[in-house]
Structure 1
C-alpha cells in the first residue's frame, strides 16, 4: 500500500491529499520520518568544522519529513478527532517528546552550536542569521542541553510525562464536551436563531429534538435568552463542570501533576519558579510585571462589575426571583438590560451578521490594507465543512487560507489559527498553508449561518493571526509568522478586531440575511455605542483566570491541590459572587493542554495594551485604512515574524512602547 504521507503530493498548492490519507497511514509515516530525521541529525554531527550552514541551517531542515507527516495529523486531531486519532495522539506525544529530548541532549550537536555562538562575531552573519543562532542556542539551553547525568535524564522524563498529561487533559475535556447535552422541551423565550441552532445540534446528536450542548456558540445565547432559571442553572453547571465530573475524564489530578512537574522542570534548570522560567523570554520578563498589569486593570474592572451586579440583581428581584444574583443569571439579565438601556438585543443584530458576509468583510479589509485578493479553490480538505482560498497579491501567490467555522462533536472547543506549512525561504520560496478553526453554530440546511457580535470579533481575531502567517517574509521557519513572544503573538489578532468596528465596513457587509438590506444606521450606532457594555464582567472573568494561572506557576513548590489554590486566589482578589473564571482549572486548556499559555494567559491583555495603542496610530494618521500605517504594520509586525525582539519591532512601528491608558479607555474602564 502506498503511503501518501511518504510520497510527493500532486495536489493544488502542495496541500496534503486528505482524500487519500487514512488514519492507518500516520504511524508508519511518523516512524519513517523519525528515522530520517535522526539520520539527518547524525549527518550534522560528522566531525566537520561547524558552520552556520552545515549546523544551524541543516538543523532547520532536518525535521522536514516529520513536519510533512504531522501537519495533516495535527489538523485532524484538533478539528476532526475520532477514537483512532485520539489513540495516535496518545502514542505520538511521548514519542515526539523523547525525540525532542534526544536532540537537545545531543552533546555533539550542542557543542557545534556552542562553538558557533562563541565565534559569532567572526561569522559574518546577517541580522536574521544572528537572531536564529541566538534563539537556537537559547532553546537548547532552556531545554537542558547543559545538564548532565541524573538532571538531564530526569528532565527528559519530566517533559515526556508532561506531553502525555497534556494530551490526556485535552481528550478528557473533549469527551466531557462531546457527551453532555440537554434536551429542550420548552423553547419559550428563545429567539429563532437559538432554536434553529438547538435543532441543528439535536440532529448532530441524533437526539430526536432540539438540545443545548456545551459549545460556546450555543450555550451562551441560551443563557442570554432562556427565561427558566432552573434550565439556565442546569446548563451552566454542566458548562463550568467540564473536566471535574469524576471518573476517567476528571482533570483535577492531572492538573496537579502537571503543576508539580513544571515546578520540578524549572528547578532542574535553575529557576526559582516555572513562571520565572517561562517569562524569561517574553516581553513582560517577570511575574511581577505581569501581576502589576493585571492588578492595574482588575481594580477598575471589579468596581464596574460590582455596580453592574447590583443593577442586575434588582432586575432579578423585580422578576420575582429571590436570593442573590448567580452566575447562571448574569447573561440573562445583562441581555435584558442591554435591550432596555441601549435598545439593542442579540436577536435584532444576528440577521445582519452573516458568516459569509463577515468572511467577505475580513477579506475586504485585508485587500484595502495589504492589497491581498482571495479566490475560492477546489482542493482536498479534511472535512466537508472546510473551504479554501488562494491568497494573491498583484497576481502572485501568497498563501492558501482554509476556514473551518462550524462546531461539531469531533472538534475541540474554542477558536484557533494554525499553519500546516509555514513560510520560509531556506528550502525554496515556501508559502504558507494557514487554517482558521472556529466553533460557530451550524445552521439548518439551506439557512445562512448567523453570528453574534462576539462571534464576528472571533472571526476577525483569528484572521489577524492568519495574516501574521500569510504575510511572513523571513528565511527561517523558526522565526516565521506567529513564532514570536507569547505576549506579542496576540497583537496582530487583537488589532485586526478593530476593523470590525469601522462603520464603513459594517455599512457594506452587515446586510440582512432575508432582505439583503444594510444594517440601519441607528442600529449600527447603537451596536457600536454598546461596545463597552458589560465590560466589567468580561474583564473580571478574564483577569481572574490570568491571576490564577500566574499564581499556579509563580511559586517554588506547586500547589498540592490546585482547586484549593484557585479558591484562595479568588478570595484574595475579592472575586464577585456572580462571576466565575472564564476558564476554571479542570477545563483551562490554554494552561494545561500544553505549555503554550502556561504562565502566559495574561498575554492577551499585554497584547491589548499594544493593540489599543496601535489602532490609535491609524486614527492619528489618515484613518483605519491609512496606507502608510498599513505598510508600517506589515513591514515591522506582520512580515517580520520573530526576526527581532518584540519590543524592538513594536517601537519601529509605533515609535515607543505604550502604557495601559488606551486599554482602560478602550474597555470603558478609565476613571
Structure 2
C-alpha cells in the first residue's frame, strides 16, 4: 500500500480529528481577507488532476507582475493574522499562516522552474530584480513582533491547550524558526539582519548566474584526433553541440554531463587538461563572470549574520535544525570517513600510475580509473552503457516504486497538461491497490543552455490534509545529453544511479503523509539517505532482468558483469 493518500478526506495524519481540522480551517478562512488576484499567474490552477501549473501562460513580464502582486496579497493576510484582536489559538494563528500566501506559492513554483530550468536572459533579469524583494518580504513576516508573539504564545501553551503531537510540533517548529531567523532581535538588530539577508540574496543570485554563464561556454576540438577514444554516442553529441553553436569540429560544453565523459575516455591528454581547467575554473577567470569577490562577500555576510544571531560562526547557526546539531558532530563523522577514503584513493592512484608511467594529474584521474577497471576487473564502462537506455532506466525506477510503495506511473499523452519544455514528460501516479490518484510526476531530463547543472528534485504542490486532501505535483530534473536523431539515449551506470537517487526525492514527496505542509521538510543531513538507498536498486536482479536490457540484443545484464562492477567498487 502506498503511503501517500492514506488519510481520508479532511482527516489528519497526526491524530487530529477530521472535525477539528474542518473547524480550524473554517476559523482561518474567516480571518483571512477575501482578495481577488488580478495577475494571471496568481489564479488557482485549473485543468485536470486538481489543477496543474499553467506553463503555457508564463512569460517573464507576467511572472514579475504575479510575484509583486502576490507579495502584497500575502502581506495583507499576515497583517490580518498579526492584528487579530482575539487571543492567539492554533486555528487563528498556525493554521492561518499555513493557509496564507497561496497565490504567491503558485507563482513561486513557476518562478523556481523558469529561473532554474530555463534561465534565459529575460528570466535572469526577473530573478535579479525579484530575489531581494522576496527576501525583504520574508523578513517582514519574521520581524513582525505581534505575529511572532502570537506564534510563541501558541507554542509555549501547546500542551496546556491539549494540542495533538502534530499540532504541537508545528507550533514549536514555527516558533523556533522565527527565533532562529531573528524574530527576537531588537529593532536595530532586525534592520541590520534585513540588510544582510537582502545582500545575501543578491550575492547568491549573482553567483548562480555567473556559474551558469560559464557553463554555457564550450571547448572547441578542431580535429578528429582530439576526440579519439570517445564512445560513439559522446562523439556524436559533441559534434551536434558544435553544429548548434556554428563552430567547426566538436564542442565539449562546460557542464559535467559533457565534461566527465571526455575526461573518462578522451585519449588526448593535452586536450583533457584544457577541458578540465575550463570546467574547474568556472567563476574563477578574472572576467565578468568571476565569483571570487562574490564568494568572499557571502562568507563575510554569513559571519555577520551568525554573530548578530548569537552564534560563533555560520556553521553553528546552520546546524541548529539538523540531526548533527553541531559542526563538531558533523566534522567527527567526516573525520571517521576521511582516513579510509584517503587510503583508498592512494591505492587507486598507485594503480593508475603503474599503467600511465607518469604522475596522475587531476585531468588524468577519470581516464586512468577506466584503464585500471579494464586491467584489474576486465570492466569497460562502454560495455555497460548499452544496458542503460534512458527510457528503460526510468521504467525500472517506476517498477521499484511499485514494489516498494505501491505506486503506478502512467505516461500522459503529450498535450494533456502544459509543460515548460516540449520534451518534459508527465506521468500520473496512482495507488496500485485501488487505482486512486496520488499526483503527477514531471520529468525534465535533458540539458539546455541556461539550465542549471546537476540533478535535483522539485515539488510544485505538496501533500496536505489540513484543508482537504491536496495531491502532489513532483518533478525530477536531470542534464542528460540528447542523442542524435532516433538513436537510443544511453547513460552511464553513474547516471542511472543518479536518476534513481533523484527519483527517491520525488518519491519522498509522493509518499508524503502529513497534515500540515510546513511539516513536510526533512533535515539536510538526513534527506539524502533514503535516496542513496534507492541507488542500490539499479543493480538488483528484478530491475536488471526486467528493464536494464541491452539495446541491441535485448538480453538483461549478466550476473558476471554485475560481479565485475561490484568488485571494482
After TM superposition, list the pairs within 5 Å mapping 1:222-621 onto structure 2: 222-317=262-357, 322=358, 324-377=359-412, 378-393=416-431, 394-480=434-520, 483-530=521-568, 532=569
**For residues 35 and 490 of structure 1, do their structure 2 counterparts lie closer, same or farther at Cα, with a shift above 3 Å needed?**
same
CA distance change for structure 1 residues 204 and 425 in 2, over 3 Å: closer, same or farther? farther
Aligned counterpart in structure 2 of residue 142 of structure 1, from 177, 180, 186:
180
Provide the rounded CA distance (Å) in 2 between the counterparts of 1:81 and 1:60.
30
On the 8 A contact 1:184/1:212 being kept in 2, the answer is no
Moved more, 249-258 or 187-196: 187-196
The residue aligned with 2:207 is 169
CA shift, 1:69, in A, is: 1.0
Residues 185-212 of structure 1: per-residue CA shift (max 9 Å, x gap): 2232222122122123224434344211
The structural deviation recorded for 1:149 is: 2.6
Name structure 2 gaps, 5 residues minimum: 1-36
Higher mean C-alpha deviation, range 12-21 or range 367-376 = 12-21
**Structure-2 change in CA distance of 1:203 and 1:401 (3 Å):** farther
Verify the 8 A CA contact 2:42 2:104 in the aligned structure 1.
no
Work out the CA distance in 1 between the residues paired with 2:246 and 2:108. 33
In structure 2, the partner of 1:4 is 40
SS at match of 1:196: helix
Paired residues for 1:24-35 under 5 Å: 24-35=61-72
Where 1:401 maps in the other structure, the secondary structure is: strand
Q: CA deviation at 1:340?
A: 1.4
Does residue 232 of structure 2 align to residue 196 of structure 1?
no
Residue 61 of structure 1 is matched in structure 2 by: 99
SS at match of 2:252: strand
Shift, 1:183, TM fit: 2.9
Q: Are the aligned partners of 2:45 and 2:53 in contact in 1 as well (CA < 8 Å)?
A: yes
Summarize the Cα distance change of 1:388–1:230 in structure 2 as closer, same or farther, 3 Å threshold. same
Q: Using the alignment, how far apart are the partners of 2:186 and 2:485 within structure 1?
A: 61
Partner of 1:17: 54
Q: Is the 8 A contact 2:220 2:249 kept in 1?
A: no
Partners in 2 of 1:19 and 1:313 — Cα distance? Answer: 54
Secondary structure, aligned partner of 1:260: helix
Do 1:78 and 1:412's aligned partners in 2 also have CA atoms closer than 8 Å? yes
- Deviation of the 1:3 alpha carbon: 4.4
Distance 1:184 1:123 in 2: 74
Q: TM-score, normalised to structure 1's length?
A: 0.76
Preserved CA contact (<8 Å) 2:43 2:103: no
CA contact (8 A) 2:323 2:526 kept: yes
Q: Post-superposition shift, 1:523?
A: 2.1
CA–CA separation in structure 2 for the residues paired with 1:31 and 1:2: 11
Query: Which of residues 155, 159, 167 in structure 1 aligns to 2:193?
Result: 155
Distance 1:455 1:8 in 2: 37
C-alpha distance in structure 2 between counterparts of 1:453 and 1:149, whole Å? 54
1:621-660 equivalent positions in 2, closer than 5 A: none
Report the TM-score when normalising by structure 2.
Answer: 0.90
- Any idea what SS the aligned residue of 1:9 has? coil
Q: RMSD value over aligned CA atoms?
A: 1.5
Helix, strand or coil at the partner of 1:500: coil
Contact kept? 1:188, 1:226, Cα under 8 Å = yes
CA distance in 1, matches of 2:223, 2:48: 47
**Partners of 1:193 and 1:347 within 8 A in 2:** no
Could you say which residue in structure 1 is the equivalent of 2:19?
none
Provide the residue aligned with 2:18 in structure 1.
none
**Deviation of residue 2 (structure 1)?**
8.0
Counterpart of 1:41? 78
Q: CA deviation at 1:514?
A: 2.3
SS for the counterpart of 1:473 is coil
Paired residues in the alignment total 524
Secondary structure at the aligned position of 1:202 is classed as: helix
Alignment partners' CA distance in 1, 2:557 and 2:343: 34
Q: Is the 8 A contact 2:447 2:481 kept in 1?
A: yes
For structure 1, the residue ranges without an aligned partner over 5 or more in a row are 533-671
Question: 1 CA distance for matches of 2:130 and 2:52?
Answer: 22
SS at match of 1:409: coil
For residues 98 and 221 of structure 2, what CA distance do their matches in structure 1 show?
Answer: 52
Q: Secondary structure at the match of 1:54?
A: helix
Task: For residue 444 of structure 2, give the secondary structure of its aligned residue in structure 1.
Answer: strand
CA contact (8 A) 2:237 2:482 kept: yes
In 2, the alpha carbon distance for the partners of 1:237 and 1:12 equals 48
Give secondary structure in 1 for the equivalent of 2:478.
Answer: strand
